Structure 1
Amino acid sequence: MGKEVNVTLNSKVLGKIKKGYPLLMKDSVTKMGNLEEGTILRLTDQQKQFVARGYYGKQNKGIGWVVSWKEKETINQAFIERKLKAAIQQRLHFYQSEDTTAFRVFNGEGDGFGGFTIDYFNGYYLIQWYSKGIYQFKEEIIASLKKLVDYKGIYQKKRFAQEGKYVEEDDFVAGKKAEFPLLVKENGVQFAIYLNEGAMVGVFLDQREVRKLIRDKYANGKRVLNTFSYTGAFSVFAASGGASHTTSVDLANRSLSKTIENFSINGIDYEAQDIIVEDVFNYFKFARKKELKFDMVVLDPPSFARSKKHTFSAAKDYKDLLKDTIAITEDNGVIVASTNCSTFDMKKFKGFIDTAFKESNGRYKLMEEFSLPEDFKTINQFKQGDYLKVVFIKKIK
């Protein structure tokens, strides 16, 4: 466990930190000096009175996290174990489900300790470390997890910059190595998971409720286009819900074999579907040229993407991408607009939707909306932690 140093908070963030805001930015402190990542910070006001305790760990969001507001609370393995135990207790009903065997067990700051997450995949646990600082707590966190759960195996991924280079490193930690693909279930549908192939394991768990609604309420008899389709998860759920046809489009070459695999393990004939390796922006142009129309379009781009000809930023470009989507959606069709960009909120996202339809001379109705599911726990003091925004939009004739 790292040493503890006293650090003075800037007066402008003092009230915010006192109320439970967990993220430390560069300008949150007056002077910190040259500290090693993982150093425990005793955060004080200008009069050197205790305010909170956290740790130093640089990641894209900031320079560290506040984890305790109790002066006599020590950041040690017992503290970490209490946090993990509380998180696991809140998710016991997920463990008891026979239809869903993949979910988030610990969601960083939402569960009281920012900088790492733990996901569960059918008996296997995956820890993701987002800074060199949190990685210094590795032994305590892994020891606590081992003590609290029965596990087949534990894997980890380092998702932080090291010596100027970004690290996406996989590592088997404990237990028995998994045989890949590791099959998991989500509301009865199977996914192939790979904990040994980089950061992308095969499915984004935060979209579980959205996929279920597509299957149960919207897909039957519909022609569905799934853009930025990754491993085809939305397409598999749509087909499972009786979609007449699905088209999956993604630029990555791996998307073809991964999507075929997910269709196949669910007993769905992938040859009856279209799986296209193509730049989504080019596909929109192709679809308009060929006058293709879809009853449902799933639009779930990354927050930022770059291809040879296109650079996409959700904050700047989502509205225009929606206009392209509106153009190839049938009247009375549905657009599932989704973003994981944390730099704007749902209100602004709905503003993008409204502007896109106005500029397209179209009308619409908002049908359903989603944010993160319950296992992706968030706190009110850190709104940007609830990053997911999904809206089902009906295009009105």
Structure 2
Amino acid sequence: MKNTVKLKIKSTFAKNLRAGFPLINKEAVLNLKGNVEEGSTLELVDESGAFLGKGYFGQQNKGIGWVLSRQQQEEFDEKFFEKKFKQAIEGRKTLFNDPETTAFRVFNGEGDGIGGLTIDYFDGYYLINWYSEGIYHFKNLVVQALTNIADYKGLYEKKRFAEQGTYIEDDDFIAGERAPIPLIVKENGMNFAVYLNESAMVGIFLDQRDVRKTIRDKYSKGKNVLNTFSYTGAFSVAAAVGGATKTTSVDVANRSKSKTIEQFSINEIDYEAQDIIVEDVFNYFKYAVRKNLLFDLVILDPPSYARSKKNTFSAAKDYPDLLEKAIRITEKDGVIVASTNASNFGMDKFKGFIEKAFKQTGDKYKILEEFRLPSDFKTINNFKEGNYLKVVFIKKLT
């Protein structure tokens, strides 16, 4: 076992930690000297030496580690992880018992008590996501604890802690049996193909489950739908299943076309009746304006940060301009699904972006409904950044 390192927390940060804030920021520490080993147990004290919490050292883009316990004698052993996983699985019982949904999040980092670690469930297979070398230090304990309490077909992992937060390419299989390639999972009765051992992302973003269902059930019938930054076309599938007259999926990645064709096909949708376009979304907006194309439903779910050959996009800075482009190709009385997973601003600021974009076009709008993370993506009130997803359904008024 690594040594326990005692860190003294500045008084300005100690109050938040006492209140339950789980992230340890570098600037909060008074005595961070030398090289602390990844995975070291941290004991946090205030400037007077009073105990604040225990955690681990693990550098990621958010901070240098996480508080895991408020009990000074607690050990981060197999029983500790077992208890956390039991509670998390118990909290997802409804999803485990739903035959129409076989893919969801089982453990959501600090929301379930262990920052830097998430676990997703895919029809009997568990996928562990490690976000720092520090949490990866506990791999054997985590895998054993999960094995003790969960019935699974197989275990997979994603190591997301290389320099600059990039994914480490490796064989992601850990234990049990290997999953079919692709593995077909269900979400509210829709089928999606996922690849557990292929790149950092498996083919579907589980945090948009409620949004996809809403698009399918309430906004798609008889509509001409544009899905931008479409990835593997999951929103397009939801729209087509919901009765859209046509969907257009646009993404700059070459792989998006074959992946989207696959998602349509496993849902018995004629992909040849849909448009699947490999193109920079910004270029497509220009094309749509030139051709006077208008859509009844526009889905706008860009990454927080993206770079193509000619364009760089940062949600915190560029979202109003992106939304303005979407507004211009949306029919009167049409709907825009504006979404972002940027954690560095909240819903109020996001609504400010929406207001700014509509002012720029001179159009009026009405907010129809809003979504945050689904229930399986558990969050805590003391860490607002953890509730990163913001989705707003906006009607462009006549």
Shared fold (TM-score greater than 0.5)?
yes
Which residue of 1 is the match for residue 270 of structure 2?
A: 269
Deviation track 1:151-201 (CA, whole Å, cap 9, x = no partner) reads: 000000100126998624442100001111000000000000001111110
Structure 2 length as normaliser, TM-score?
0.98
Taking the TM superposition and a 5 Å limit, the aligned residue runs for 1:206-355 are 206-355=207-356
In the aligned structure 1, how far is the partner of 2:243 from the partner of 2:172?
A: 39
1: distance between equivalents of 2:169 and 2:343?
Answer: 22
Contact 1:159 1:168 in 2 (8 A): no
3-state SS in 2 of match to 1:167: coil
1:110 alignment partner AA: G
Counterpart in 2 of 1:172?
Answer: 173
| CA distance in 2: counterparts of 1:49 and 1:217, whole angstroms | 54
Deviation at 1:30, TM superposition (A): 0.7
Structure 2 gaps, min length 5: none
User: Following the alignment from structure 1 to structure 2, what is the Cα–Cα distance between the partners of residues 86 and 46?
Assistant: 34
Contact preservation (8 Å) 1:59, 1:131: yes
In structure 2, what is the Cα distance between the partners aligned to 1:28 and 1:75?
23
Q: Quick check: 65-74 or 359-368, which moved more? A: 65-74
- Please state whether the residue corresponding to 1:215 is helix, strand or coil: helix
Once the two structures are TM-superposed, the CA of residue 10 in structure 1 deviates from its matched residue by 1.2
Q: Does structure 1 conserve the Cα–Cα contact (< 8 Å) formed by 2:167 and 2:200? A: no
For 2:261 and 2:332, how far apart are their aligned partners in 1?
30
CA offsets per residue over residues 358-384 of structure 1, 9 Å max, x none?
A: 110000000010000000000000000
Whole-angstrom distance in 1 between the partners of 2:369 and 2:349: 16
TM-score under structure 1 length normalisation: 0.98
What percentage of residue pairs aligned between the two structures are identical? 63
Counterpart CA distance in 1 for 2:151 and 2:254 is 37
> What is the identity, as a one-letter code, of the residue corresponding to 1:139?
N
* Shift, 1:80, TM fit: 1.2
Using the alignment, how far apart are the partners of 1:16 and 1:36 within structure 2? 25
Matches of 2:78 and 2:40, distance apart in 1: 15
* Pairs within 5 Å for 1:38-187: 38-161=39-162, 167-187=168-188
Which residue number in structure 1 is paired with residue 27 of structure 2? 27
How far off is 1:5 after superposition? Answer: 1.8
Provide the rounded CA distance (Å) in 1 between the counterparts of 2:18 and 2:78: 24
CA distance in 2, matches of 1:83, 1:227: 38
* Preserved CA contact (<8 Å) 1:158 1:170: no
AA in 1 matched with 2:225: V
Tell me if structure 2 keeps the 8 A contact 1:132–1:162.
no
* Conserved? CA contact 2:61–2:165, under 8 Å: no
Letter in 1 for 2:24: L
Partner SS state of residue 249, structure 1: strand
Tell me how far apart the structure 2 counterparts of residues 169 and 221 of structure 1 sit (CA, whole Å).
44
- Structure 1 CA distance, aligned partners of 2:32 and 2:328? 53
State the match for 1:36 in structure 2.
37
Aligned counterpart, 1:361: 362
Matched-pair contact (CA < 8 Å) for 1:367–1:394:
yes
Q: Could you tell me which amino acid in structure 2 is paired with residue 15 of structure 1?
A: K
- Asked whether the 8 Å contact 2:9–2:45 carries over to 1, the reply is yes
CA distance in structure 2 between the aligned counterparts of 1:335 and 1:90, rounded to whole angstroms = 33
Equivalent-residue separation in structure 2 for 1:158 and 1:169 (angstroms): 8
Distance in 2 (alpha carbons) for counterparts of 1:80 and 1:149 = 12
**Any unmatched runs of 5+ in structure 1?**
none
1:226-273 per-residue CA deviation (whole Å, 9 max, x = no partner) reads 000000000000000000000000000000000000000000000000
Distance 2:330 2:165 in 1: 44
The amino acid that maps onto 1:29 is V
| Contact 2:158 2:167 (C-alpha < 8 Å) held by counterparts | no
Deviation (angstroms), 1:72: 2.3
Structure 2 distance, partners of 1:274, 1:3, is: 58
C-alpha distance in 1, partners of 2:102/2:71?
36
- The list of structure 1 runs, each at least 4 consecutive aligned residues, that deviate by more than 4 angstroms after superposition, is 162-166
Write the letter of the residue equivalent to 2:52. V
Residues 222 and 245 of structure 2 are in contact (CA less than 8 Å); yes or no, is this contact kept in structure 1?
yes
